[in-house]
Chains A and B, each alone.
Chain A
Amino acid sequence: MSEPNTLVAHLFRHEAGRMVSVLAAMLGFDRIELAEDIVQDAMVQALRSWPFQGIPENPSAWLYRVAKNKALDVVRREKLFRQISGDWASERQEEDMMEQFFFEDEINDSQLRMLFACCHPSLPFESQVAMCLKILCGLSIREIANAFLTSEETITKRIYRAKEKIRAKEIRLEVPTGLQLPIRVNAVLKSIYLLFNEGYTSSHPDTLIRQDLCEEAMRLTLLLTQTPRTTTPSAHALLALMCFQVARFEARTDATGAIVLLKDQDRTQWNQALIAQGKRQLAASAGGSELSEYHLEAAIALQHCLAPTYEKTNWQVILSYYDLLLNRKPGPIVALNRAVALAEVDGPMEALLAVLQIKELETNQYYHAILGDLYAQLHQTDRARQHYHRALHLTSSGAEKQLLRKKIDPLL
């Protein structure tokens, strides 16, 4: 009996995503459910044998072998039918073909093809994210529903409709080429960016779930950046941005789950390894002439990571990045964030004037929270209180409510 070895965290989840992609590439997207069933079967087999026979030396290879054999069975059975219609293929050929699909390069390629299909611009964003999480990341319907605080039925419907659309629109499992490629890569990056934000800024009470979403978004981006055909400066920039944000994830809440503001965060808790990785990615993103919004957002996040204290943050530089960002991606949320930097550089009055120019955020809790902050700094306590109350009314997050009450209290 060998020593008990333990499994890598999320091994099954990640391998399930990889295997479904490989099998779908082999069997065709039309039969994605069959691919999913085969993978589920392989995991059942692992559950039945590993506890008693010990975890195999190479668990991933074991799972792949079982899935491959099951797929081969299916193909052979079908061949039997084809033979009747006179279409003969040698057994050897099929096995060779199957072997090919399971080469490391092909595994990555299958995942990329699946990623481009799942993030096809003709699918609504919610469906894109659900598809990525279900098929590529191996999360169950229950886990996805839980992460988005919605019902399993809703997620099932989203995935069903997306699969139908992929079939109906004949969206092919392929990595786009030529002029199509950069456009499609940008669409994929956008989906991953939104998936990451769901994890990073959502009000979900369970931080583990949120970290999972961020981690999966990073994995998908890594897949793009590690493949010469699909890597772009923007992809590196997005990965850099995610590294810098996740580096500060732990420090954003205290032991009780309450929000810790950037100003009060224990900066020694920031993950320096991730910050270093982010810097490497940012350096890699400098190739070419492209300057995307991810570059600018990463640059802003880096400034925060570099500052030894809140007071020593280089707000001037951050403000200049926000100016560029607002230019590229005009919108109320960017303008609101810029105003926070502006308050640090030019004072609360300038920032207040800027925020009051912003339209469309009447129902956004952060808009009101920031207005509350600015009015409080200008000693207009009545107005500050009004906006804090409005924010309190708009947020559904317990931690945010708690923070707002803490701000209202001294104003009474």
Chain B
Amino acid sequence: MHKARTVLDRVLVVAGVIALWQMASLSAGAYWVPAPWPVLKTLWAMAQSGALARHASYTFQAAAWGFLIGGLPGAVLPFILRRMPRLSAILDPYLVGGYGIPKLALAPLFILWFGIGIESKIAVVASVVFFLVFFNTTAGVRAIDPKLVQMARLVGASELLIARRVIWPSAVPFIFAGLRVSTPYAIGGAVIAELISSNRGLGYLVQLGAMNFKTVEVFAAILAITLIVIGANALVNGIERRLLRWRPANALNKDAASGGM
């Protein structure tokens, strides 16, 4: 009963948004605000001609490589630093500072170093993802109950076993949180780098439409990116839910950090 009403309400909200969009298009003119239907048709045409897949796969590649190159050390380093409290204390202010640096502002530097090809996009994504994963994993490693570790040590577990059986399972949710939060950033970071300077990718697609004054293409490209981000979020959330079924979750809090891009 309540559920059905909620679903109906939600459908109404979506319908309302589309109606508003249509109205905006009518009042501002289709050149400035293309109506929903032509945008969908353009998106479909892009998909059929293979242009969408080509540009999306370029963006995906940049995001995926950056994700790997930044995420892997971000997930591993905290486990190493756990064993070296002094080193981690020394590194701490630098890592906090690195976290605070606006990585996207480094894009011109990366373009300078790596050119306008995919490498500079990968660098942007990796620098963003590394810190997100690093700090989430560090939080996980720190959240481990020291009593559990002590207990394991008392019963004679080796350090390797402790790392594998005690620390790793407790940290997994946090690593996942880091990866999940990073997903939209990885895609967003790649898109932004492409916006600044590129000749391929979804960000370039937006830029191209704007340069040719084809707002309908701009809209279609933005819609495509939005759908891809939503899809990627849903995918990571789904994987996480499956793996970490035992943890309670709160939908809004989970997405809290992904509002930024």
A binds B: no
